[in-house]
Amino acid sequence: MLGVIATVGMMFTYALPAPSLKRNHKSSTGLFARLFLFFLWLSYGFSNLLYVETTLFYGLGQNLCATLAAYMVYLTVLKRFGRPLPTPHRLFILVHLVTLETLTVLVHNAGDNFFLCQMLFLISTLIPIFAAALKMRQLMDQRSVGDKVLFCILSGAVAVLVLGGPLYMFVISVTSQYKSFITFGLAVIAMIIFMLGFVISFMHSLVIRLRKQIYRDPLTACKNRNYFYDVAPALVKRAESQDLQVCMLVCDIDHFKQINDKHGHLAGDKALNHFSQLLRSQLCGDDVLIRMGGEEFLILLIGYDIDKAAHWANALCRYVAAHPLNYKAHDIQLTASFGLLAMPPKADLFEIIGEADQALYQAKNQGRNQVVMFQSDTTQTLAACPLLSSNAAPASGQHVELAGVPASLQEK
C-alpha cells in the first residue's frame, strides 16, 4: 500500500512544469523529491524486519534509508532554488552515512542496545531535516506563501523528531502489530505533507513568475501597460494616503519612425532598449517606469512636488540627448519630448493621463527635445520652472533652450 502511494507521488512530480533551462539545477528538483518517496518507502519496509528477528538488517536498512530520505528533502530544497550541492557537503553526507552504518553494526554486536540504535535513527534523520529547514529559511522568497508553507512543514518535522520521536519510541507501549500500523500512518503522512508543501511552494513561485511576466515588457524589461491598469492606481492611492505628492511624466522618442526607416527595425528595438535604460538609470526611490506602447513611456514620480519634478525632467531630457545609441559603429542621436503634470488629490489616473499627453503633444509641436508642464487655468507655477514651457500660458510658454543641449538638437 505504501509503495502504491509512493509510486503515485512519483508520477505526480512528472506532471509539474519543467524549468525552461534543462541544465539548470532546478531541473533535478523532481528527481530528489521522487527519491525521498522511494527511500521513505524502503525505510518502512526495513522497519518491519524488527518483528521477524533480523535486528541487524533492520537497523542497517532503516537507519540508512531514513537518513537518505531526509537528505533527499535537503537536496530537494537546494535544487528547488537552483543551488548546487557543494563538494564539502557531499563529503559530509558520505562520511555521515558510513559512520552511521558502522555505529549501527557496533551497537548490534555489543548486545541488546535497542535504545542506542533508535537514538542513532533519530539523530541521523534530524541532521538533514534541520539543515533543510535552515536552508529553506535562508533561500525562500518572503513574498511566496508556498515557500512559507514548506518552511513551516520542515520546521514542524524538526519539532516532531525532537519532541515526538522519543515519546513514540520509548514511552508509548503497544504491540508490534499496532506499532507497525502507526509507523505506516506516519510514513503516509510524511509523504503527503512533504509533497503537498513542495507542490504548493513550486506552484506559488510559478504564479509569482507569471505575474512578473504579465506586468513586464519583454523588450525593455520595464513595467507594461497591464501594470499601469492593474497596479499603478493602488500605488498612487497608497502614496496619497502617506501624504506624498505624485507627478506624472510621459515621454516619447523624437522621430522614432525615421530610426526604423533608416536603420531597420532591429535598430529601433535597440533604440527603445537604450532609451529605457537611460530612463531607468536616473530613477530613484519608488519611481516607476512604464512602457505604454511603441516609443511612449510613462514615469510615476512618487514624493515629488512640481518644482522638483520639473528640475528632474529637464535634467533627464539633457541626459537622454547627451547619450546617443551606438549601433554598428554609428552613433544614433536620440532626443525625447516630455509632458509633465502634478496629479491632483484623488485624481483618476486613467483620465489624468490625457492631460499629460496634451503637454507631450505641445512639446512635439514646439520643436521636440523639451519638457512641457500641464497647468490648469488657476495654477501659476511657470515662474518656478524657468526651463519649462506651459500649455496654460502661451504668452510665457514660448520655446526655451535647454541647458547642455546643442542648438542643432533643439531644431529636430
Domain that includes residue 382, residue range:
225-410
Question: Looking at the structure, do residues 130 and 233 belong to the same domain, yes or no?
Answer: no
Question: Looking at the structure, do residues 201 and 274 belong to the same domain, yes or no?
Answer: no
**Last residue in a domain, options 188, 214, 240:** 214
Question: Looking at the structure, do residues 114 and 244 belong to the same domain, yes or no?
Answer: no
- Name 336's bridge partners: 253
- Grid cell in block for residue 159: 519539532
**Contact predicate 238/284, CB 8 Å:** no
**Contact predicate 371/338, CB 8 Å:** yes
Length of the chain: 412
Single-letter code of the amino acid located at 292: M
Question: Looking at the structure, do residues 262 and 399 belong to the same domain, yes or no?
Answer: yes
Integer Cα distance of 161 and 70 in angstroms: 12
Question: Looking at the structure, do residues 50 and 110 belong to the same domain, yes or no?
Answer: yes
Q: Consecutive sets of 10 residues in the chain, 412 residues long: mean pLDDT of each?
A: 68 61 62 85 76 68 88 87 88 93 82 71 88 89 78 85 69 58 67 74 72 86 92 92 93 93 92 95 91 94 92 94 91 94 90 92 92 65 37 34 35 36
Question: Looking at the structure, do residues 209 and 229 belong to the same domain, yes or no?
Answer: no
Residue 367, helix vs strand vs coil: coil
Considering the entire predicted model, what is its pTM? 0.57
Q: Can you say how many angstroms the Cα of residue 113 is from the centroid of all Cα atoms in its chain?
A: 50
Single-letter code of the amino acid located at 150: L
Integer Cα distance of 74 and 223 in angstroms: 36
Question: Looking at the structure, do residues 193 and 279 belong to the same domain, yes or no?
Answer: no
The reported pLDDT for the residue numbered 256 is: 94
Q: HSE on the CB side for 156, CA within 13 Å? A: 11
Residue 296 lies in a domain: yes
The reported pLDDT for the residue numbered 213 is: 81
**Last residue in a domain, options 180, 214, 248:** 214
Residue 403, helix vs strand vs coil: coil
Integer Cα distance of 256 and 349 in angstroms: 27
The reported pLDDT for the residue numbered 146 is: 76
Overall domain count for the chain: 2
Contacts of 97 (CB under 8 A, 6+ apart): 64, 67, 68
Residue 151 lies in a domain: yes
CATH number at residue 340: 3.30.70.270
User: In 175-202, which positions are buried (b, 16+ CB within 10 angstroms) versus exposed (e)?
Assistant: eeeebbeebbeebbebbeebbebbbbbb
Residue 219 lies in a domain: no
Question: Looking at the structure, do residues 193 and 335 belong to the same domain, yes or no?
Answer: no
Residue 243 lies in a domain: yes
**Last residue in a domain, options 155, 180, 214:** 214
Question: Looking at the structure, do residues 205 and 241 belong to the same domain, yes or no?
Answer: no
Integer Cα distance of 218 and 30 in angstroms: 29
Residue 10 lies in a domain: yes
